[in-house]
Amino acid sequence: MIIRRGPGLILLGMAIGVFCMAGAGAEPLNIILIMADDIAYDNNFGCYGSEDSWTPRLDKMAAEGMKFDYCFSTPKCTPSRVKIMTGRSGVRNYIRFGALDHRETTFATVLQKAGYKSTIVGKWQLDGAGGTAPKDAGFDSWLLWNTTHSSGNRYWNPVLERNGVLLDVDEIAYGPDLCVDTITRFIGENQESPFFVYYPMLLVHSPFLPTPDSKDRTEKDKQKNYRDMVKYMDQCVGRILDCLQEHRLERNTVVMFTTDNGTNRNIRYRYRGQDLFGKKGIPHDRGTHAPLIVRCPGTVPVGLVCSDMVDFSDFLPTLAHIAETDRPNSHIDGRSFWPQCQGEKGDPRTSIYQYYWPKGYGWIPEELGTAELIWAQNKHYKLYANGLFYDVMNDREEERSIPANRRSPAELAAVDVLAAVIASMPLTNKAYDGKPAKSGRKNKVELPR
């Protein structure tokens, strides 16, 4: 593990003894996990080096806590949501787009059994065609878009389900505001007991519409509206952090922020002198590389940057570690990164395994040409199960595969290691049933007012 504090200073395996950590006799730490929708780590986050910095609150959150440079989701929303909630690779439990296998144990169930009050607010999209309802996934309460009853508008005049009942809203209601109002109210009502908030945000997924803060509520330019949506996403996070401060819960609450996959492919942005388009749905770096910011004053050291790899399967064991409770008995592919969040060495990954079944929900490069995409990677190299091998440190777009007869000794060694990672997992996904997810109510036209 390499942890940096500010530019230039390198601290190896640092232990911070002056920080208060959860332990015997300490009050349980509250947990808030925020996951934005459709925005890559290099898109608009100033703390990750974006030239278009529209996230002052998240940048401040990183400065007051820590960030991880190598966190990886899957390229698409449903597999990322299943993976982060279950701690298991999709090769074991991905049944179809829009569904979470009802037999799976989620991080909410783990925390609920440990005595946490739990809520989920935002986007669900996991109960289609025999999937899982929120009440069966460990949540005591919820306010959600895209359940079997609520898949209309997500932004203006939103169709939202609160605890099984459709919310009655007016035309000027804005979904993200209703979500944050619900979260801040939940925090205020549950501050005397440990709580868990999972906030899979509505923002910044398409359609790209003006926000309540947009100068022109009739603006049609997707790029301008996307910029405003990113700014509003940042403000939503800021409102939650302000609520914790208001209730004096900052030092007793771990807040994590990440994103589910890359940016929409219609959105362009600048990063390190390059004009880029999003790569949502594509198994390249910009389709899977996610930000990860962690903050808990007094527990998480200030201003640290960790270069350890984090996989989405790591979140469940990490949340269980924070809550000092056991992980599920079923096979868990993740490992806790909570020690690194406290400045300790922990058990860092040297590679990650990825499984992805696009099945019509994301374009894949022609040379990969398979329904099931499987690969392993470290920070330098990436190996697909079909033998394609890339130096992703120097070829982020995966434009030049390295043939077997042109690989250096270091590259040959990397292939052996990554091939062993792939071989350690199931050869195929036996859970996938191919059934389409059921759609809820038909979408309406979003009309900002």
Query: Tens of pLDDT along 113-162?
Result: 999 999 999 999 998 777 899 999 999 999 999 998 777 899 999 999 99
Which regions of 163-312 does DSSP assign to beta strands (E)?
A: 165-166, 195-200, 253-259, 268-271, 274-277, 289-295, 304-311
**Residue 257, strand partner residues:** 34, 293
Domain at 29-351: CATH architecture: 3-Layer(aba) Sandwich (3.40)
Place of tokens 């079944």: 357
Average pLDDT, the chain: 90
Asked whether 13 and 344 are in contact (CB, 8 A), the reply is yes
Mean pLDDT of 382-395: 96
The whole-number pLDDT of residue 104 equals 95
User: Residue 420 and residue 220: Cα distance in Å, rounded?
Assistant: 50
User: Residue 355 and residue 428: Cα distance in Å, rounded?
Assistant: 9
The whole-number pLDDT of residue 335 equals 97
pLDDT of 18 over the 70 cut: no
The upper half-sphere exposure of residue 256, i.e. CA atoms within 13 Å in the direction of its Cβ, equals 27
> For the chain, percent helix, then strand, then coil, each to nearest 5?
25, 20, 50
Taking the alpha carbons at both ends of the chain, their separation in whole angstroms is 49
State pLDDT tens for residues 201-249: 999 999 999 999 999 999 999 999 999 999 999 999 999 999 999 999 9
Mean pLDDT of 258-280: 92
- The domain locations on the chain are 29-351, 354-423
Q: In this predicted model, which residue has the larger pLDDT, 11 or 351?
A: 351
Nearest to 288 by CA among 359, 341, 354: 354
Phi, psi of 301 (to 5 degrees): -55, 150
pLDDT of 397 over the 80 cut: yes
Asked whether 66 and 294 are in contact (CB, 8 A), the reply is yes
Mean pLDDT of 288-304: 97
Phi, psi of 247 (to 5 degrees): -95, 10
User: Residue 98 and residue 41: Cα distance in Å, rounded?
Assistant: 24
The per-residue DSSP string of 127-159 comes to BTTS---GGGTT-SEEEEESBTTB-S-SSBS--
Enter the DSSP assignment of 449: -
Mean pLDDT of 69-96: 96
* Angle in degrees, CA 156, 157, 161, rounded to 5: 115
Phi, psi of 309 (to 5 degrees): -80, 140
The whole-number pLDDT of residue 2 equals 53
The whole-number pLDDT of residue 26 equals 75
pLDDT of 364 over the 80 cut: no
**Residue 292, strand partner residues:** 68, 258
Q: Residue 423, Cβ neighbours under 10 Å: how many? A: 10
Q: Which helix (H) or strand (E) holds 229?
A: helix 222-246
pLDDT of 17 over the 80 cut: no
Asked whether 304 and 12 are in contact (CB, 8 A), the reply is no
pTM, full prediction: 0.92
* Angle in degrees, CA 407, 410, 411, rounded to 5: 40
Mean pLDDT of 370-388: 93
435 pLDDT tier (thresholds 50, 70, 90): low
The whole-number pLDDT of residue 348 equals 96
* Least confident interval from 100-114, 308-322, 420-434: 420-434
User: Residue 31 and residue 198: Cα distance in Å, rounded?
Assistant: 8
User: Residue 368 and residue 362: Cα distance in Å, rounded?
Assistant: 13
447 pLDDT tier (thresholds 50, 70, 90): low
pLDDT of 318 over the 60 cut: yes
Mean pLDDT of 183-197: 96
